[in-house]
Amino acid sequence: MYKTLIDRLIKENNLTAAEYLMLIENRDEIRDYAAKKACELRNKIYGKKVFIRGLIELSSYCRNNCYYCGIRALNKNAERYRLTKEEILSCADEGYRLGFRTFVMQGGEDGYYTDELLSEIIREIKRRYPDTAVTLSLGERSYESYRALKEAGADRYLLRHETANKEHYAKLHPKEMSFENRQECLRQLKSLGYQTGAGFMVGSPYQTNEDLARELIYLRETQPEMVGIGPFIPHKDTPFADFEGGTAEMTVFLLSLIRLTLPRVLLPATTALGTIDPMGREKGIMAGANVLMPNLSPVSVRKKYELYDNKICTGEEAAQCIGCLSERVKNAGCEIVKDKGDFKNEIRR
């Protein structure tokens, strides 16, 4: 019964929300089959490859107050830092040496990083390393800003939509933040030619299984090139400190459903997943993920970019991440590649 649904998902990709919901609610019975099919599909399109993205966490300053996030403006206990242009470039130098061919500049919404400053940094990375991709993950900005940064050479942009349900969005964010503007930003990014990443947290407060089913419909309708999902993990200094976190088991199953719904998607096994389960990233890859985003930020600031509690790879072990990850990926039946890892468009005839 559930196998038939998975087979129809692969062949016709026309499941209803009710059918996705049925899979989600009965995932114990179908997770292994879904994972096997998801890996087959991934391998057919990309090979048994895992792409690595070097994450540079620019700034822990943020103007926003998302209820779930540890670097929200109102968190007085958050330690704030911002990286200078020189520091960012030396992260990229180190990353390139280690084999990274994509750099992700991520940060809170921090006015310090003007279009001019970011453009200079992007241009300099591209000048030094023309064979790399630059991804930005800097939240909501104006169309003009997105356009200027694209012009400067940025290739991709990650902006999780956080939830496809407007009422749910309002429970996760203060009224200053709008569901519509988030959606509008994603449309603008796509129209400017960015490879665009959407995504959401699994098990965020007030999320239902119906919401999760609708996330899959949303992804099918909007066709992002990248999808970032990870479990919600409570942060002690936020309004959501006392909520339960999401589970690895649900996150991993959703990774399979996302791969089956968007076969070509670039899909990370996230650090949040590795944080709640020591085998989380391996499980993610074995369920159909094909991206890892290890941290390239200077070790001195890593603990300060704390979106959630107990984040891994922020201490002494940080220097060994690449070796550690190669081993993990091998155990998951894949291999890390030194490659930009662009989205593979369907070859049109």
Contact residues toward ligand 5AD (CB under 6 A) are 68-69, 160, 162, 201, 230, 232-233, 235, 272, 307-308
Residue placing its CB nearer to ligand FES in the complex, 150 or 283: 283
Question: Which residue number is nearest to ligand FES in terms of Cβ?
Answer: 324
Separation CA 131–CA 342 (nearest Å): 12
Query: Which of ligand FES, ligand 5AD, none lies near 320, with the C-beta cut-off 5 to 8 A by kind?
Result: ligand FES
> What is the four-CA torsion angle of 131, 136, 142, 144, rounded to 10 degrees?
-10
* Contact status: 98 vs ligand FES (CB under 6 A): no
What is the CB neighbour count within 10 angstroms for residue 346?
8
Select the residue interacting with ligand FES from 73, 170, 217, 324 (CB under 6 A): 324
* Contact status: 299 vs ligand FES (CB under 6 A): no
- CB-based burial of residue 92 (10 Å sphere; 0-12 exposed, 13-18 middle, 19+ buried)? buried
Give exposure, 176-189, as e/b (b: 16+ Cβ within 10 Å): ebebeebbebbebb
Q: Are 236 and 309 in contact (CB under 8 A)?
A: yes
Q: Which helix (H) or strand (E) holds 34?
A: helix 27-46
Residue placing its CB nearer to ligand 5AD in the complex, 139 or 341: 139
Which SS3 state, helix, strand or coil, does residue 344 take? coil
CB of 119 to ligand FES, least distance (A): 31
Two tokens, residue 1:
């019964």
Cα end-to-end span (Å), the chain: 36
CB of 288 to ligand FES, least distance (A): 20
CB of 72 to ligand FES, least distance (A): 26
Select the residue interacting with ligand FES from 16, 26, 320, 331 (CB under 6 A): 320
* Contact status: 313 vs ligand FES (CB under 6 A): yes
* Contact status: 89 vs ligand FES (CB under 6 A): no
Select the residue interacting with ligand FES from 5, 10, 41, 321 (CB under 6 A): 321
Q: How many residues of this chain bind ligand FES (CB under 6 A)?
A: 7
Of 266, 278, 258, 270, the C-alpha closest to 337 is 266
Applying CB under 6 A, the residues found at the interface with ligand FES are 294, 313, 317, 320-321, 324-325
